[in-house]
């Protein structure tokens, strides 16, 4: 059965077997693109893959008329993987910053050393122009 027919069957009849067949056909494509985009992180790739197929389920009626489901799946996978990686990076950054929160035995003299590991990550989160300005100021100060 053609993918468009499976999508129509799923959207009109809520056929689980039609949706399962779509997943079976396209899982290697979606998961393969996801694992490459998330740098080999299996858990993130699984999350991205699940998100893509949730989007397929949500938009099945519209996708039944799409001229290139394979292209849509690939593009959607890339978009959701990039979004997932950004979200994960921000989560990790928040955790690193939280780990640097002052404790009762906090020594201000140690602050620069404790911040050093996260500074580059924070800099990469800035807009390019802001990052350039800070780097230029740092360069002038270090002369």
- Do 53 and 72 fall within a single domain? yes
- Do 24 and 49 fall within a single domain? yes
What pLDDT shows up at residue 101?
66
- Cα–Cα distance, 94 to 100 (Å, whole number): 10
- Do 76 and 141 fall within a single domain? no
- Do 31 and 54 fall within a single domain? yes
> Six-digit token pair at 65?
């008329």
- Do 57 and 78 fall within a single domain? yes
Output the domain CATH number for residue 61: 1.10.1740.10
- Do 71 and 110 fall within a single domain? no
- Do 15 and 66 fall within a single domain? yes
**How many structural domains are present in the chain?**
2
- Do 130 and 76 fall within a single domain? no
- Do 121 and 141 fall within a single domain? yes
- Do 95 and 109 fall within a single domain? no
- Do 65 and 130 fall within a single domain? no
- Cα–Cα distance, 143 to 137 (Å, whole number): 10
Q: For residue 12, what are the contacts with CB-CB under 8 A and spacing of at least 6? A: 61
Domain extent, residue 124, equals 105-143
- Do 92 and 45 fall within a single domain? yes
Q: What is the mean pLDDT of residues 122-136?
A: 80
Q: For 61-107, what is each residue's pLDDT tens digit?
A: 999 999 999 999 999 999 999 999 998 888 888 888 777 766 556 56
What pLDDT shows up at residue 106?
58
> Six-digit token pair at 53?
């197929």
Instruction: Tell me, yes or no, if the pTM score tops 0.85.
Output: no
- Cβ atoms within 10 Å of 70's Cβ, excluding its own: 13
Confidence of residue 141 (pLDDT cuts 50, 70, 90): confident
């Amino acid at each position: 059965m053609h993918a468009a027919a499976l999508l129509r069957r799923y959207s009109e009849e809520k056929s689980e077997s039609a949706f399962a067949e779509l997943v079976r056909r396209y899982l290697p494509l979606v998961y393969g693109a996801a694992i490459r985009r998330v740098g080999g992180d299996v858990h993130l790739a699984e999350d991205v893959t699940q998100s893509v197929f949730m989007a397929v389920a949500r938009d099945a009626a519209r996708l039944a008329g799409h001229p290139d489901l394979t292209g849509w799946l690939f593009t959607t996978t890339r978009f959701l993987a990039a979004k997932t990686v950004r979200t994960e990076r921000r989560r990790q950054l928040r955790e690193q910053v939280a780990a640097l929160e002052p404790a009762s035995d906090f020594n201000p003299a140690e602050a620069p050393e404790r911040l050093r590991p996260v500074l580059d990550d924070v800099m990469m989160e800035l807009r390019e122009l802001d990052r350039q300005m800070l780097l230029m100021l740092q360069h002038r100060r270090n002369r």
